Amino acid sequence: MTPAPTVTGYIGGRLSAFSGQCQLYVWCDWCVKWHYHGVACDERPGTVTHRVAHCCDNNDLSPYRAHGYNIRISRVPYERVARSVREANSLQRSISCHDGRTTPSIERLRRQRPTVTPARATRRS
């Protein structure tokens, strides 16, 4: 049996003001979009947790479908990496996820990796 791969996860916003739950975002290089899962907001960076992949509306073509993935939680928040990658549009996702085909543009999108963007400086009045 092939073990589940390990990917990086980034903790994002709190689900509600009263819950201790946040979203854990994972960049999926198959679907070319962010997947998200619930996680405790105080989960420690470096912790590894397993999740079932949400790839392609449960299409079995994804390499993550059979075993899911292990997510190593980053100390970098989701907001610092969210815009560093471009998600596939609905047509590209339909071609790759539902038809099982690929194009050069989909392959370029799949090669992207999230990178940390510099923190925005706050202006003082």
- With a cut of 60, say whether residue 58 has pLDDT above it: no
| C-alpha distances out from residue 104 to 3, 101, 115, 121, Å | 29, 11, 22, 37
Q: Encode 8-44: b = buried (16+ Cβ within 10 Å), e = exposed.
A: ebbbbeeeeeeeeebbbbbbbbbbbbbbbbebeeebe
- With a cut of 90, say whether residue 65 has pLDDT above it: no
pLDDT for 45 equals 93
Residue 90 lies in a domain: yes
- Considering only residues 1 and 63, tell me which one the structure prediction assigns the higher pLDDT: 63
Residue 122 lies in a domain: no
Residue 116 lies in a domain: no
Residue 98 lies in a domain: yes
Residue 119 lies in a domain: no
Residue 49 lies in a domain: yes
Residue 117 lies in a domain: no
Number of domains observed in the structure of the chain: 1
- With a cut of 60, say whether residue 121 has pLDDT above it: no
- Considering only residues 49 and 65, tell me which one the structure prediction assigns the higher pLDDT: 49
The average pLDDT across 35-57 equals: 89
Question: Which domain, by its residues, includes 12?
Answer: 6-110
